[in-house]
């Protein structure tokens, strides 16, 4: 795909991995729709940084727990830019949950944001994406291949997102490629102390964590050079799935 002037919606793009993806694609000449829920100032800063590379960018608020708001986000982007070439489903919630402290409301919230919202967004964007032979990139997680007893809802939601990626690749073929990237540790949760970080790093074959920029480069590669790739999940985890 030629990326110059393509319009790309990145959900959860105000901070962390989403921000890195938005900035990398802006440097490639894309126009960015920067989605956020609460982080208005950070989203504005991300959009400003994207615009500083020479391309257009704008921030868009939406609560992805609400399917109507998710569909409305796509409509807002189309109204602002007049087209949509790529949807990057990055927004997610990451809440700890063990079996003994199972909470139905939190379980349902996690699945709404991490799994249902990508489906709703893709369905809302499908006609626009088909028109331009566009792409969908789902940000999955290495957790999908591992049984995390401490994050039941999150792990199940990301495993579901991998399955959804493959299903959407069939549903949107042949016009739209649908792929996923599955990061391991690329941006530490803020509450992890040095001891916890060292413990987790020691279990990774390459003995180091990744960076948000590593995920962004993978997304850039899949968009730029992935014309013959669909239904695939690319691990970006420094070997974590082998641990």
Question: Which whole-number Å values give the CA distances from 90 to 36, 38, 139, 141, 193, in the listed order?
Answer: 11, 15, 5, 10, 25
Active site residue 36: no
Instruction: Determine, yes or no, domain membership for 153.
Output: yes
Residue listed under structure tokens 């830019």:
81
Position 231 scores a pLDDT of: 98
CATH code of residue 83: 3.40.50.720
Position 73 scores a pLDDT of: 98
In tens digits, the chain (243 residues) has pLDDT values of 999 999 999 999 999 999 999 999 999 999 999 999 999 999 999 999 999 998 899 999 999 999 999 999 999 999 999 999 999 999 999 888 899 999 999 999 999 999 999 999 999 999 999 999 999 999 999 878 777 788 899 999 999 999 999 999 999 999 999 999 999 876 666 667 677 667 766 666 666 667 899 999 999 999 999 999 999 999 887 555 655
Instruction: Determine, yes or no, domain membership for 100.
Output: yes
Instruction: Determine, yes or no, domain membership for 146.
Output: yes
Q: Who contacts 62 (Cβ-Cβ below 8 Å, separation ≥6)?
A: 35, 37, 69, 70, 72, 73, 76
Instruction: Determine, yes or no, domain membership for 1.
Output: no
DSSP state of 151: B
Report the predicted TM-score, pTM, of the whole model to 2 decimal places.
0.92
Cβ-based burial of 29 (10 A; exposed 0-12, middle 13-18, buried ≥19): middle
Q: Per the structure block, which two tokens stand in for 177? A: 């490629």
What is the tally of structural domains in the chain?
1
Domain span holding position 26:
7-242
Position 54 scores a pLDDT of: 82
Catalytic one of 36, 154, 192, 228: 154
Position 110 scores a pLDDT of: 96
DSSP-assigned states of every residue in 83-101: ---EEEE-------B-GGG
Say how far apart CA 74 and CA 119 lie, in whole Å.
12
Instruction: Determine, yes or no, domain membership for 74.
Output: yes
């Amino acid at each position: 795909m030629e990326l110059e002037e393509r319009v790309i919606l990145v959900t959860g793009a105000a901070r962390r991995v989403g921000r890195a993806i938005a900035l990398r694609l802006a440097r490639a000449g894309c126009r960015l729709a920067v989605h956020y829920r609460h982080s208005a100032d950070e989203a504005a800063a991300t959009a400003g940084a994207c615009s500083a590379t020479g391309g257009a960018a704008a921030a868009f608020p939406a609560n992805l727990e609400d399917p109507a708001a998710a569909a409305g986000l796509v409509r807002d982007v189309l109204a602002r830019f007049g087209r949509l070439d790529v949807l990057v489903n990055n927004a997610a919630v990451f809440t700890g949950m063990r079996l003994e402290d199972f909470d139905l409301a939190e379980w349902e919230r996690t699945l709404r944001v991490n799994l249902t919202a990508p489906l709703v967004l893709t369905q809302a964007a499908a006609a626009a994406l088909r028109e331009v032979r566009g792409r969908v990139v789902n940000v999955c997680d290495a957790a999908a291949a591992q049984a995390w007893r401490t994050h039941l809802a999150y792990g199940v939601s990301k495993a579901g997102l991998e399955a959804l990626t493959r299903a959407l690749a069939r549903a949107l073929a042949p016009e739209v490629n649908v792929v996923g990237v599955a990061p391991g540790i690329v941006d530490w949760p803020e509450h992890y102390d040095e001891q916890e970080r060292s413990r987790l790093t020691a279990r990774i074959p390459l003995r180091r964590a990744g960076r948000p920029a590593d995920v962004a480069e993978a997304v850039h590669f899949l968009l730029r050079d992935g014309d013959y790739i669909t239904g695939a999940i690319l691990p970006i985890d420094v070997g974590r799935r082998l641990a």
